[in-house]
Structure 1
């Protein structure tokens, strides 16, 4: 995905990633581990971490960290893969915010419901400070936090409308969702449902599989989301109204 909006491009990579590499450190010694992230509407990165993990202990001592998100390489050379390195500060999610943000995490990683309520697991949030986007070989640029993050007004507008939009699509547009899912990488037949929404796109889920639908541009309000979903449906079903 190459666009004329690098911040949007970077956010789509972050939101679409099923896994990422988390970089932490202890006493100056770097440490890297595999994690399964989910992005909230404001692009804060949610991680379900065990207190038994080395990286969790390191984040408690030093919250500064980085995440590497990687897309698919266009060629045999892995360096052609688009990727984003996001830096930020990690902290446990306050108890009052856990229910809503845990639901967001489980929408992205439904299999995690098996252990999400174990006593040693807790939801963490990484607040982005900056990022570097590498859009392929020899295409790199840095993004300050203010340039990377989505419009707060759009985030709030879609958060308020998300449940209504999801209910509307799942109750009345199952065929359109199935067609969209079939056209996405990794998609196929099934009872696909829209499980999450943000200004940059939507997540479609079926069982433990989750697909990412990127919008063609950031959506500022429900009307823009509707236009994007109509576009995606028409592209998936040429000739449909």
Structure 2
């Protein structure tokens, strides 16, 4: 009698989804693997990353980079997210995304939105973002493998990672002004969010992004992702969601 092989994968739950989203949306960079256009061999490199309004990873690369030609020839790619810390590097959480890359045309609304969000996250990229040989790509997830540490492996779908909300389009139009308003008229909000929900003891946090599922904060080179309790379902709901979230942060701290 053949013994049934034990399934090493855990059932994907909301805790796993939250960890996966945090690994992707709080990242400043990732390792990318593409298929070399000339040899067919895997080609790995490091890229700066951001996210689009729906949580899809985006990258900015130069035509001088071999992965530009690779993605144009074959859009299949993988991204590896996850920071290492003290001790065994394999004990720290990481996630691999299998993606389909889509190049973003310069003359569309998608490019303007992605450019704004990316430069806000990576201010130094403003020096070269408009060079003619640079291009943005959306790395649209097909599936993912999350390793949350020893004995915590999960198989994930695109739906586990991408923000699905009818409010995303409306939020994309108001995000820039909403971020500016929060950082100028409610300067204390970012520090309160970071302290209450991210357990940060630092001061000087600023909001760098808003979407239907949460808030992106930055403090120097550190980025923090804070998820809202519920996904916003309409553009009109952003103000109330941020206000309620801030009030709760004050109560916690």
TM-score between the two structures when normalised by the length of structure 2: 0.79
Alignment pair present for 1:85 and 2:96: yes
SS in 1 for 2:163: coil
Q: Report the alpha carbon displacement of residue 144 of structure 1 after superposing the two structures with TM.
A: 1.4
Q: How does 1:193-208 map to 2 (within 5 A)?
A: 193-205=206-218
What are the superposed Cα offsets for residues 97-128 of structure 1, whole Å, 9 maximum, x if unpaired? 21111001111111111111222211111111
Quick one: structure 1 residues 57 and 185, their matched pair in 2 at CA, closer, same or farther if it must change by over 3 Å?
Answer: farther
SS in 2 for 1:152: coil
Alignment pair present for 1:170 and 2:183: yes
Match of 2:143 in 1: 130
Cα contact 1:201–1:212 (8 A) shared by 2: no
Equivalenced residues, count: 232
CA distance in 1: counterparts of 2:195 and 2:143, whole angstroms? 34
Match of 2:35 in 1: 25
Alignment pair present for 1:13 and 2:23: yes
**Among 152, 160, 169, the residue aligned to 1:139:** 152
CA distance in 1: counterparts of 2:226 and 2:72, whole angstroms? 34
**Among 100, 109, 119, the residue aligned to 1:106:** 119
Q: Report the alpha carbon displacement of residue 37 of structure 1 after superposing the two structures with TM.
A: 0.6
What are the superposed Cα offsets for residues 16-74 of structure 1, whole Å, 9 maximum, x if unpaired? 0111000011243111100111011212211110000011111111110000000454x
Cα contact 1:89–1:129 (8 A) shared by 2: yes
Q: Report the alpha carbon displacement of residue 181 of structure 1 after superposing the two structures with TM.
A: 4.9
SS in 1 for 2:14: coil
Cα contact 2:165–2:212 (8 A) shared by 1: no
Measured on the aligned residues, the alpha-carbon RMSD in Å equals: 2.7
Structure 1: 5+ residue stretches without partners: none
What are the superposed Cα offsets for residues 123-176 of structure 1, whole Å, 9 maximum, x if unpaired? 111111111111111211111123332223253454355345324312321123
SS in 2 for 1:28: coil
- Tell me which stretches of 4 or more aligned residues in structure 1 moved more than 6 Å: none
TM-score between the two structures when normalised by the length of structure 1: 0.83
Quick one: structure 1 residues 72 and 62, their matched pair in 2 at CA, closer, same or farther if it must change by over 3 Å?
Answer: same
Cα contact 1:132–1:142 (8 A) shared by 2: yes
Alignment pair present for 1:150 and 2:146: no
SS in 2 for 1:149: coil
Cα contact 1:7–1:149 (8 A) shared by 2: no
Larger radius of gyration: 2
Match of 1:47 in 2: 59
What are the superposed Cα offsets for residues 190-232 of structure 1, whole Å, 9 maximum, x if unpaired? 4x432211234322346x6453231264432423343333334
Cα contact 1:109–1:210 (8 A) shared by 2: no
